[in-house]
Amino acid sequence: MNKENMKKGINRYLKVKYGVTVDDAKEYEIFNALSLTVLEDIVDDWKNTSESYNSGRSANYFSAEYLMGRALGNNLMNLGLYDDAKDVLSELNIDINKIEEIEEDAGLGNGGLGRLAACFMESAATIDVPLNGYGIRYNNGLFNQNIEGGFQTESEDNWLKYGDPWSVRKEREAQIVEFSDMKVRAIPYDTPIIGYGTKNINTLRLWKCEPIKEFDFVLFNEQKYDKAVSLKNRAEDISRVLYPNDSNDQGKILRLRQQYFLVSASLKDIIRKHKQKFGTDFENISVNNFVQLNDTHPTLAIPEFIRLLVDEEGVNFKDALEYAKTFFGYTNHTILAEALEKWNIKLIKKLFPRILEIVKDIDKELIKELKEKHYTKEEINEFRIIFDRQMRMANLAIFVSKAVNGVAKLHTDILKDSELNNWYKLYPQKFQNKTNGITPRRWLRLCNPELSSFITKLLGTEEWVKNLDLLKELKKFEDDDKVLEELMNIKLQKKTQLAEHIKNEEGVELDPNSIFDIQIKRLHEYKRQLLNAMYILDLYYRIKENPDMDIPKTSFIFGAKAFPGYVRAKSIVKFINEIAELVNNDEDINGKIKVVFVHNYRVSYAQRLFPAADLSKQISTAGKEASGTGNMKFMLNATPTFGTYDGANIEIVNEAGEENNYIFGLRVEDIDKIKEEYDSTTYYKKDKNIKRVLDTLIDGTFNDGGSGDFEDLYNSLLEEGDQYYLLADFKSFKETQDRVFEDYKDKKKWAKKCFANLYSAGVFSSDRTIKEYCDEIWNIKKTSIK
């Protein structure tokens, strides 16, 4: 598309959709008009890609969430149209940055699992892999987070308030999903996933839940207005909010409805396409299709697939089960018991009794197989899918799936050696590792154009954007003073940009010449934001005692959302903000350290934070973080990792060298040795600094609004045994941070650490991860359209 056609398209859509000219248009109207112009230009390639994929074997990614971020800038960049769009808008006296800023982050995901799904979809399109995404089109995302009086508050995430120009409603391909008490319509909305430098356009299909009937006319006519629309509201609730609070049975039932709605509609869609090609021959359904289950959320797909084949297509149960065993793969994202879903069977029976019957039959097949292999009753109980009135979703996924993969080497080793060791002994051939990755397009090329241009200049090519392994060729510049100086000038530029944004958004002034020490991720106890906060408070007290303490000026930046029902996580948010209030307003500290908790952390905020970081805090308890991908985004933007020997931190250190990163604390094997005798109170009694910090939770230093939340944090560390080993790792944390401060003073030494992380980051491209899935699990070939 040339600039003239782009300009004509913008004017046309403004006129047709809004009845305005460019001079009168609001920013969101211009955003929509430009987006629709680009969508119109790619629609033929999109159609050709879908037809090409449908003629061969394709993979299907089932995920409860896709944390996509903003679409416009990324799509323009991938299509090679960003500069043209910037020029066209400039000719119309419009700033492209303002148009990008008006776009809401799509409310379709929350954390690393959802962002991984988004990276995978973009990588598959970029490398011409036939991968279809299936999810739910939530009307509202998780929530918008505000900080009021230091507390997290939540409001609805109305991401669709300006519309969604990047999705196409496909009414003709709607499906009916049935629960025991209601039927609903699943309406597909297709979003193009535009790859970088390719004509292939992949598809993310998101289902919106709508009622069969808009309202009951008879009831409405009888003036029973609420009853007349009750079924409509119940249907729309299913796709209303991402991860509704499930602290009671009503919330759990809604979660189950969501999961079944997603998988039933998606499988019916796959079967519909299969029947168009092969009729009712289902023997080869797994020859042409594969479904990857992204964690346990979509595991109901397994019994639903069998139900559809048995009840609606006349396949016998044993054949259907065998087909399923080559049709599904399962990705495990965590060893945390709370995330390995177990559902009370009374809820399953209430919503879909036939699914319960099928799972019982699957369970019988599993028991039969184990008995034939001479397992004892006690051993079999560990494997069973239905046991103790619960349906164990991970067991169901492992038994039926063709392959089971972890997402980092350590994580997969832990699954094989301990957490899923019984399954690994039974099916060693099923277990694989697929270390996570990130797309270099969004997480470097788009969010850090300054560094991207510098890399291109050094390498003499932009090929690295599609082949991140080329970053290794930068190593030859590692002792070039001019290159290192330029790298740090770019870092300062990104820090200055972030500081300005934080001042506008949070009202806190940061010095771009200070260390930007950043911890951004979902808020959970095992991720140990509390340990970081404790360290900062201890540092504050040490500076008060020794105002001449020789450390570089440091800005500690946090960003995280705590789930609304997760009281302890919300307490940590409040504690961090209380520390920020104390530190930032103490004149004695003289700005030597500052603390800021950025509100409503999301992809678009992350795109500012990752490029500006001097230090990447990845401090989860060893063995608890399956992988992490935030650590990779920091690394790709030339940032050393400060972290535990956990998840993908291990692989980062293996690539970039431990000398260029900062590993601290207990390792998995250390925890295994001490966990039986671990007594957190000994640290409290022996270390006056730990005692001083923890006492602030109960001595009135900080105000938790009378909630008792800070006392609960105190008790979690001392009365409940400190299950995430914060106190055991506190001393090592301090010593390692002291090394950071010392190393940072040597500008060249620090620059070399940053540069080493940059040129070592190539292996963490999600392009590499997708290729591994294709070759080792999905058996999918590259399919390029002309």
Q: Is 521 a catalytic residue?
A: yes
Q: How many residues does the chain have?
A: 786
**Alpha helix (H) residue ranges in 657-721:** 668-674, 680-686, 688-695, 709-718
User: Which DSSP string corresponds to 735-780?
Assistant: HHHHHHHHHHHSHHHHHHHHHHHHHTGGGGBHHHHHHHHIIIII--
- As beta bridge partners, residue 147 has 152
Active-site residue, selected from the candidate residues 307, 402, 633, 753: 633
Catalytic (active site) residue 629: yes
Rounded to whole angstroms, the Cα distance separating 631 from 324 reads 35
- Cα pseudo-dihedral 244, 250, 256, 261, rounded to 10: -80
For residue 459, count CB atoms less than 10 angstroms from its CB and return exposed for 0-12, middle for 13-18, buried for 19 or more. Answer: middle
Q: What is the Cα–Cα distance from 67 to 74, expressed in whole angstroms?
A: 14
Here the tokens at position 687 are: 């270390």
Alpha carbons within 13 A on the beta-carbon side of 746? 10
Q: 446: closest CA among 167, 68, 741?
A: 68
* 749 is annotated as an active-site residue: no
Q: What is the crossing angle of helices 766-773 and 112-126, to 10°?
A: 80
Q: Report whether 508 contacts 502 (CB < 8 A).
A: yes
**Continuous H helices in 325-438:** 345-351, 353-372, 377-383, 393-400, 409-414, 421-426
Residue 51 CB: number of other CB atoms within 10 A? 10
Residue from 185, 208, 333, 524 carrying the catalytic annotation: 333
527, 528, 574, 771: which is the annotated catalytic residue?
A: 527
Q: Which of 402, 521, 561, 771 is catalytic?
A: 521
Helices 603-612/481-506 angle, 10° precision:
140
Cα separation, 42 vs 49, in Å, equals 11
**Residue 455, CA distances (Å) to 77, 631, 756, 767, 781 in order:** 17, 20, 13, 19, 31
Q: Which of 191, 334, 439, 629 is catalytic?
A: 629
Q: Which tokens in the block code for residue 784?
A: 């390029």
297 in catalytic set: no
Q: Whole-angstrom Cα distance, residue 93 to residue 88?
A: 9
Catalytic one among 115, 274, 307, 522? 522
Angle at 745 between CA 740 and CA 749, to 5 degrees: 80
Distance between CA atoms of residues 156 and 142, nearest Å: 8
Q: How far is CA 330 from the centre of its chain?
A: 17
Would you state the structure tokens that stand for residue 585, as one six-digit string? Answer: 């307003």
Please enumerate in sequence order all residues whose Cβ is within 8 A of that of 338, keeping only pairs 6 or more positions apart, or say none. Answer: none
Buried/exposed code over 699-737 (b: 16+ C-beta within 10 A; e: otherwise): eeebebeeeebbebbbebbbeeebebbbbbbbeebbebb
From its phi and psi, is residue 251 left (phi > 0), alpha (psi between -120 and 50) or beta? alpha
Q: Would you say 392 and 342 are in contact if contact means Cβ atoms under 8 Å apart?
A: yes
Alpha helices, DSSP H only, in 387-528? 393-400, 409-414, 421-426, 440, 449-459, 481-506
- Which of 66, 50, 542 minimizes the C-alpha distance to 273? 50
Phi and psi dihedrals of 599, rounded to 5?
Answer: -90, 155
Residue with tokens 């019994």: 303
Is 623 in a helix, a strand, or coil? coil
Rounded Cα distance between 548 and 543, Å, is: 7
Q: Which residues are catalytic?
A: 333, 521-522, 527, 629, 633
